[in-house]
């Protein structure tokens, strides 16, 4: 067994190694390490000064040294050799120690510069009594060799037991040849020494057991406290995580609710706006129809009047010949002046009406209800003006009919003038109606562009809100991952600190055990008793090591179980977050499709309730409607979480066009082949 001062020997060995590495860096690489043995020579009587040590390697003498007064020695032996160390001094029994440095080839080839710790032993030389048989001391009293089961050097216990028995027999024979008084004294001293050694061994054993018991109690308490603190920390973390998860769920639900409320409000506003637009379009169409009816009535009245005038003019043609040239010139001049004046007045009146209509349309865009009322008022005012104009015209015609008999030629000229004025008025009315229709088209296009821009801004705001929500969720996930990494780093640091503490405790315990072995070695008298004490200490260390290994295994199992539990909780939370995000995305896809379908339907129909449900519930939905001498076919394709709208426009004059809706950008023209391919069943 090894008995040495670890701190001193280790420091000395490292210092020597550093010096050699500094002085001989290249030669050191090719050198093999050597095995060190050291110890002390003690004498039964006298001092060890002058004791010689002879070193034989493989039966060849390779050196000798003289032991100093303190009795200490130290030798470096090559591996893979068999050494005999012989200790002798005049008047003392010579003893030899066999040190066999053979180790397995695999160990020797990979051996480092500190493969095995130095081995310490003690040699006690006794006085040589006269007549004593000392043949037994011609053989080594101990063998030190490598043991594979220990992976270290130690005594050959079987050999030591055999030699010790023979030495004891010789000592007994030596005692019988001495005087009775000397025998009694030696026996008493031997018995006292045995009793003292037994007492010290028992005390040391009890002290070691007490120290180990206290260590186990402290270790158990430390592990229990660590587990309790870990459980409390885990419970606190779980409570915080649960509260955080509840707060996050509430925040997400509040955001979704607010977004839904905002969407509902926007839809209500959009519905009101579209209903006002539809009402305005209906009023504009009704007014255009009313104007068309008045125009046709005026044309019919003018035609009848023209026929009557032509008949009357034919009857009075004979009377008109005398003054035809003069009256014709005068009539032309008056007709031209009156036509210009009437045209200017009509243009001013139509401009006033157009200004009033434009003001009414501008007011209608700001307030749909007020715009509809204003348009209705303008329409009634226009009808009233037309009615008053018609009454004035009839009154004027009646007055002219009374004067016609007196001024037949003048009335003929006036009739021609009225016919010319009516034709000019009809042309101007037709031009004004065309301009009004074109102006209505431009206003409708401007409204559509404004609505598209507003919808684009709404969509941009909605996407911005979603991006902010996603960024907040990402920041929260990043902070959670950083917190988890910090917790893991703290846990690893705690494990490393516990490991270093255990190493320090083990080093202190080992140093204490080494000191204890040194004291026992100094006090022991025989190698057999030293071996027994060493064996008991080794067994205690092995038991302690076994208990430590079992405790480490149990602690690692507990830590692993705690880590697995934490990982399962985190994985469950991650799946829950993914499920919530998927639900939010599906709701967003649904809302996006529903908004796009509603916009497309509202641009064509007044009532979209049932139609919207049909579009959302089917893969393909087809609607047809008529407007302004054309047939429009809309095909809605709802598949793969997206909605596509294709439009076919058939004009009454024979041309057919195909389009696809592109959100806020309006319509994009496509070919008939693309339309047929994309809308087929």
pLDDT digits over 259-275, tens only?
A: 788 888 888 888 887 88
pLDDT at 409 over 50: yes
Q: Indicate the pLDDT class of residue 316, thresholds 50, 70 and 90.
A: confident
At 152 the pLDDT is: 86
Burial class (CB in 10 A: 0-12, 13-18, 19+), 108: middle
Q: Which residue has the higher pLDDT, 108 or 157?
A: 157
What are the Cα distances from residue 119, in Å, to 36, 38, 61, 523?
Answer: 7, 6, 22, 18
Helix axes 527-602, 609-617, angle to 10 degrees: 140
At 658 the pLDDT is: 93
Which residue in 153, 152, 156 sits closest to 143, CA to CA?
Answer: 156
What's phi and psi for 42, nearest 5 deg? -120, 150
- Topology of domain 1-177, CATH: Immunoglobulin-like (2.60.40)
At 66 the pLDDT is: 92
> Rounded CA gap, 418 and 613, in Å?
60
Find the mean pLDDT for residues 123-152. 77
Which residue in 446, 441, 439, 442 sits closest to 353, CA to CA?
Answer: 439
Structure token pair of residue 669: 């023209």
Print burial letters for 439-462: b (CB count within 10 Å at least 16), e (below 16).
Answer: ebeebeeebeeebeeebeebeeeb
Structure token pair of residue 122: 């003690």
DSSP one-letter code for 137: G
Helix axes 408-523, 6-23, angle to 10 degrees: 110
Find the mean pLDDT for residues 442-462. 76
* 468-517 pLDDT per residue, tens: 777 876 677 677 767 777 777 778 878 888 888 888 888 878 888 887 88
Q: Which residue has the higher pLDDT, 580 or 302?
A: 580
At 98 the pLDDT is: 95
The 3-state secondary structure of 172-209, one letter per residue: HHHHHCCCHHHHHHHHHHHHHHHHHHHHHHHHHHHHHH
At 556 the pLDDT is: 86
Print burial letters for 163-179: b (CB count within 10 Å at least 16), e (below 16).
Answer: bbeebeebeeebeeeee
Contact 620, 681 (CB under 8 A): yes
pLDDT at 349 over 80: no
At 583 the pLDDT is: 83
Q: Indicate the pLDDT class of residue 550, thresholds 50, 70 and 90.
A: confident
Contact 279, 413 (CB under 8 A): no
pLDDT at 521 over 60: yes
Mean pLDDT of the chain: 78
At 4 the pLDDT is: 42
pLDDT at 30 over 50: no
Find the mean pLDDT for residues 575-596. 82
Q: Indicate the pLDDT class of residue 61, thresholds 50, 70 and 90.
A: very high
Q: Which residue has the higher pLDDT, 287 or 141?
A: 141
Q: Which residue has the higher pLDDT, 120 or 388?
A: 120
Which residue in 621, 579, 567 sits closest to 234, CA to CA?
Answer: 567
At 20 the pLDDT is: 52
pLDDT at 27 over 50: no
Lowest mean pLDDT among 192-196, 200-204, 307-311: 192-196
pLDDT at 45 over 60: yes
Contact 367, 449 (CB under 8 A): no
What's phi and psi for 111, nearest 5 deg? -65, 140
At 568 the pLDDT is: 87
Which residue in 602, 597, 599 sits closest to 620, CA to CA?
Answer: 597
Find the mean pLDDT for residues 78-94. 91
pLDDT at 387 over 90: no
Q: What percent of the chain lies above the pLDDT cut of 70?
A: 83
At 130 the pLDDT is: 63
At 99 the pLDDT is: 95
At 464 the pLDDT is: 80
Find the mean pLDDT for residues 579-595. 81
pLDDT at 16 over 60: no
Predicted model pTM:
0.28
Judged by DSSP in three states, 644 sits in strand
pLDDT at 17 over 60: no
At 53 the pLDDT is: 95
Find the mean pLDDT for residues 343-371. 70
User: Can you count the helices (H) and strands (E) in the chain?
Assistant: 12, 14
Which residue in 641, 590, 621, 600 sits closest to 270, CA to CA?
Answer: 600
* 290-313 pLDDT per residue, tens: 777 877 877 787 788 778 878 887
At 6 the pLDDT is: 47
Find the mean pLDDT for residues 574-588. 84
Give 465's contacts (C-beta < 8 A, 6+ positions apart): 255, 259
* 211-268 pLDDT per residue, tens: 888 888 888 888 888 788 888 888 888 898 888 888 888 887 887 888 788 888 888 8
Most confident of 189-198, 230-239, 430-439: 230-239
Most confident of 54-58, 77-81, 495-499: 54-58
pLDDT at 81 over 90: yes
Q: Indicate the pLDDT class of residue 401, thresholds 50, 70 and 90.
A: confident
pLDDT at 29 over 70: no
């Amino acid at each position: 067994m090894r008995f040495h001062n670890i701190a001193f020997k280790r420091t000395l060995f490292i210092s020597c190694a550093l010096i050699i590495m500094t002085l001989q860096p290249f030669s050191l690489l090719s050198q093999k390490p050597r095995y060190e043995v050291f110890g002390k020579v003690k004498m039964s009587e006298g001092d060890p000064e002058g004791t010689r040590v002879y070193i034989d390697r493989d039966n060849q003498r390779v050196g000798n040294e003289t032991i100093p007064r303190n009795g200490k020695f130290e030798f470096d032996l090559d591996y893979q050799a068999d050494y005999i160390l012989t200790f002798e001094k005049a008047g003392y029994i010579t003893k030899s120690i066999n040190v066999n440095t053979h180790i397995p080839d695999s160990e020797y080839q990979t051996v480092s510069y500190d493969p095995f710790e130095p081995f310490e032993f003690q040699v006690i030389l006794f006085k040589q009594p006269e007549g004593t048989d000392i043949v037994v001391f011609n053989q080594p009293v101990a063998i030190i060799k490598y043991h594979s089961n220990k992976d270290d050097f130690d005594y050959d216990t079987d050999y030591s037991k055999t030699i010790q028995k023979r030495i004891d027999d010789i000592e007994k024979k030596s005692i019988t040849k001495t005087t009775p008084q000397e025998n009694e004294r030696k026996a008493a001293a031997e018995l006292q020494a045995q009793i003292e050694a037994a007492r010290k061994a028992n005390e040391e054993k009890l002290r070691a057991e007490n120290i180990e018991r206290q260590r186990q109690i402290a270790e158990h308490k430390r592990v229990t406290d660590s587990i309790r603190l870990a459980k409390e920390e885990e419970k606190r973390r779980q409570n915080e995580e649960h509260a955080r998860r509840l707060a996050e769920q509430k925040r997400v639900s509040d955001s979704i609710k607010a977004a839904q409320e905002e969407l509902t409000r926007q839809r209500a506003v959009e519905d009101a706006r579209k209903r006002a637009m539809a009402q305005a379009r209906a009023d504009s169409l009704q007014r255009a129809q009313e104007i068309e009816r008045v125009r046709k009535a005026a044309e019919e009245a003018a035609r009848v009047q023209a026929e009557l005038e032509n008949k009357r003019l034919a009857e009075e043609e004979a009377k008109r010949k005398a003054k035809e040239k003069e009256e014709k010139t005068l009539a032309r001049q008056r007709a031209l002046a009156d036509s210009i004046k009437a045209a200017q007045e009509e243009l001013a009146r139509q401009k006033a009406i157009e200004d009033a209509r434009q003001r009414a349309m501008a007011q209608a865009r700001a307030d749909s209800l007020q715009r509809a009322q204003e348009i209705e008022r303008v329409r009634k005012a226009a009808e009233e003006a037309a009615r008053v104009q018609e009454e004035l015209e009839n009154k004027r015609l009646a007055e002219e009919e009374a004067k016609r008999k007196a001024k037949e030629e003048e009335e003929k000229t006036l009739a021609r003038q009225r016919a010319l004025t009516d034709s000019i008025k009809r042309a101007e009315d037709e031009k004004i109606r065309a301009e009004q229709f074109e102006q209505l088209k431009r206003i409708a296009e401007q409204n559509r562009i404004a609505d598209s821009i507003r919808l684009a801004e709404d969509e941009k705001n909605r996407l911005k809100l979603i991006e902010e929500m996603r960024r907040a969720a990402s920041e929260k996930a990043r902070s959670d991952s950083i917190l988890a990494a910090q917790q893991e780093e703290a846990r690893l640091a705690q494990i490393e600190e516990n490991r270093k503490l255990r190493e320090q405790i083990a080093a202190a315990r080992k140093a204490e055990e080494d000191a204890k072995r040194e004291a026992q070695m100094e006090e022991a008298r025989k190698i057999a008793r030293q071996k027994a004490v060493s064996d008991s200490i080794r067994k205690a260390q092995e038991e302690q090591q076994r208990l430590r290994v079992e405790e480490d295994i149990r602690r690692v199992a507990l830590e692993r179980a705690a880590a697995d539990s934490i990982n399962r909780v985190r994985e469950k939370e991650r799946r829950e977050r993914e499920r919530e995000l998927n639900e939010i995305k599906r709701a967003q896809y649904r809302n996006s499709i529903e908004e796009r379908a509603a916009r497309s339907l509202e641009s064509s129909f007044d009532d979209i309730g049932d139609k919207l449900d049909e579009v959302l519930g089917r893969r393909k939905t087809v609607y047809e409607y008529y407007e302004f001498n054309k047939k429009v076919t809309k095909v809605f394709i709802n598949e793969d979480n997206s909605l596509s709208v294709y439009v076919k426009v058939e004009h009454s004059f024979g041309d057919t066009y195909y389009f696809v809706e592109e959100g806020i950008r309006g319509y994009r023209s496509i070919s008939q082949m693309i339309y047929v391919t994309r809308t087929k069943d």
